[in-house]
Structure 1
Amino acid sequence: MSAVESVVTGAGDRVVFDRHGAAGAPAALFIAGAGPTRADDPVTTETARLLAERGFQALVHDRVGRGESATAGPISLERELDAIAALADSAAAPVVLVGHSSGCAIAMLAAARVERLAGLVLWEAPLGLFTAGAPDWWAGVERHLDAGELEQAVAAYMVDMPPEWLEQLRQSPDYPELVLSWIPDGRALAAVESEGAAASLASLDVPVLAVVGTETFPGMAAAADAIAAAAPHGASEELAGAWHSWDPEAMAARLAVMLEG
């Protein structure tokens, strides 16, 4: 069972989401990385559906500035954190934040705002993987944004990623304006690297699970181990998945174990 709903955040943004399962059941709140809307992310939707079949709740939203949560102009990190807090409140239950890629850094920063936080699951967080470090990388992207050079900003954002990903983005009807909703991702990655993962995780008295796929990019496993070491209740694991995407059945089963407490 799923339903399309919306929340209005403290910043006044309307965020549209799919609620799989019933409000009040233990919940997973998925936080996408740069780019995806829920309409073009079938892996997360299938994972959410499988969790609902197990009696849990799963929330899949269009991040601020994307899809049905569209709004004009640049999106700040603060607005995205407000959205996560509002969505978590709507669950009316304990919530596990499930970050994907740069969404992991956003989840880490949002954790303190979730009153009934039950845990973090962080899939392939790209921390420590930028050639000159995330703060320098993001400063370069921001220089293009400040100059209104959106195509150059997209290219700068994607600099260490597979070139075919950039070519796919260029086919999007939202290119290059889509980069305006990536601002929270870049600022979150830069902030977490600058301050250190422990600054976001050391005070969390909940499980923090850093996960990588069975086929993944160089450095991802080491990044997961570092995250696990920074959290009081941290662990790192390998889960079925390939090239930055998890297997829905495997992820749903692992999330169910965490939601069962």
Structure 2
Amino acid sequence: MEPVKAFVDSKDGTRIAYTRYGSGPAVVLVDGALAAQEFGPNKSLAEALSSRYTVFTYDRRGRGESGENLPVDVEREFEDLDAVTDLAGEPVMLYGISSGGGLILDYLLSGRTARKVALYEVPFVVDDTRSPAPADYVEHIHSLLAQGKNGDAIKYFMRAGVHLPALMVAAFPLFPGWSHLKKVAPTIAYDLQYVQAFQRGRPLPADRWSGLDVPFTVIAGSKSPAWMRNANAALAQVLPGATHRVLPGQTHLVKAPVLAPALIEFFG
């Protein structure tokens, strides 16, 4: 079955672009920071899962072909996800990568639910294996964006938030995707709200997600930095009944042929 591209209106009227793949039980894939359907890992993952599931990908608001209505309000992003999950006509399974996993956790805390939830490397910082985000991290990014310095905001986000090496970040303007990154830079404001409270090098609160009644799996890559692996092991410990899995040879840029079998095993 060929993928079907279409649009759905969110509650506030914002047009959200989505693509439906395959057939079977419904799975919705949620991108992390700066990614979109045509710029990120979820397209290849959707293709890998489409023989078993009806898979939905979508452009989060302000990205790709989706619209944007300001000011930033995470409830609008929850309504966008509602609009996509409603297309399935049944309770869906959710997968979120990076800060997309943080979005899903907050989505569930808002009172929504799902059949099952898989998370890949939510970027929390729970110990001293890396320095925490600076105290003025969020404010500085907002300041750069307000001044129209989208490129500087991306670089600061990649250094202070993602912790990429300085030389790699300095070379970003040479990469083919630089124009996309600068265009969607304002959407960082959403992603920060899902993760920044837990990027301070302190243990995750034991009771924050204790009331969630959803089967979880938390996945990380064996070649990801220690801080990322530690954070996701800790997340699995505080999510009720969660399983934890480490994929050999994988990094934050996880490969669909390796990840898909793990998701199929969990989703059933």
Q: TM-score range by the shorter chain?
A: 0.7 to 0.9
Note if 1:252 corresponds to 2:260.
yes
Partner of 1:102: 99
Higher helix share: 1
Q: CA RMSD in A?
A: 2.7
- Aligned position for 1:157: 157
2:215 corresponds to 1:215: no
Please give the secondary structure, in 1, of the residue aligned with 2:179.
coil
Deviation, 1:237, is 0.9
Query: Are 2:14 and 2:69, in contact at CA under 8 Å, matched by a contact in 1?
Result: no
Distance 1:223 1:86, change over 3 A: same
Structure 1 residues 36 and 225, CA gap change in structure 2 (3 angstroms): same
**Distance apart, 1:161 and its partner CA:** 2.0
Match of 2:246 among 238, 252, 256: 238
Spell out, residue by residue over 1:54-99, the C-alpha distance to the aligned partner (whole angstroms, 9 max, x if none).
2x12111111111111447664433222211211121222322211
Gaps of 5+ in 1: none
Secondary structure of 2:116's match?
Answer: strand
Q: Find the aligned partners of 1:136 and 1:105 in 2 and give their Cα distance.
A: 20
* Cα pair distance change 1:175/1:104, threshold 3 Å: closer
Residue number among 86, 105, 114 corresponding to 1:89 in the alignment: 86
1:31 corresponds to: 30
Identity %: 24
Q: State the alpha-carbon separation in 1 of the partners of residues 214 and 73 from structure 2.
A: 27
| Alignment correspondent of 1:11 | 12
Cα deviation 1:32-74 (Å, max 9, x = unaligned): 1112221133x422221222212x1211111111111144766
Runs of 4+ in 1 over 6 A off after TM superposition: none
Describe the superposition over 1:177-202 as per-residue Cα deviations: whole angstroms up to 9, x where unpaired. 42111211111112455895656522
Maintained 8 Å contact 1:105/1:192? no
- Match runs of 1:55-70 below 5 Å: 56-70=53-67
Q: 1:214 to 1:192 in 2, by over 3 A?
A: closer
Q: Say whether the 8 Å CA contact 1:128–1:134 is kept in structure 2.
A: no
Unaligned runs of 5+ in 2: none
Query: Which one-letter code corresponds to 2:7 in the other structure?
Result: S
Which residue does 2:237 correspond to in 1? 229
TM-score between both structures, scaled by the size of structure 1? 0.85
Residues 114 and 45 (structure 1), Cα distance of their counterparts in 2 relative to 1, 3 Å cut? farther
Residue type at the aligned position of 1:127: F
- The equivalences for 1:133-172 within 5 A come to 133=133, 136-159=136-159, 160-163=163-166, 164-165=168-169, 167-168=171-172, 171=175, 172=178
Shift in Å, 1:257 = 2.4
Q: What TM-score results when the alignment is normalised by the length of structure 2?
A: 0.83
Note closer, same or farther for the CA distance 1:227–1:75 as it changes in structure 2 (3 Å cut).
Answer: same
Residue 176 of structure 1 pairs with residue 177 of structure 2:
no
Q: Distance in 2 between matches of 1:94 and 1:184?
A: 25
Distance 2:256 2:182 in 1: 30
C-alpha distance in structure 2 between counterparts of 1:141 and 1:230, whole Å:
30
Q: Call closer, same or farther: CA 1:40–1:76 in 2, change over 3 Å.
A: same
Aligned residues: 256
Going by fraction, where is strand more abundant, 1 or 2?
1
1:12 Cα deviation after fit: 1.8
Greater shift after overlay, 70-79 or 5-14?
Answer: 70-79
For the residue of structure 2 that corresponds to 1:219, the secondary structure is: helix
CA distance, structure 1, for counterparts of residue 8 and residue 185 of structure 2 = 23
2:39 aligns to what? 40
Shift of 1:156: 1.9
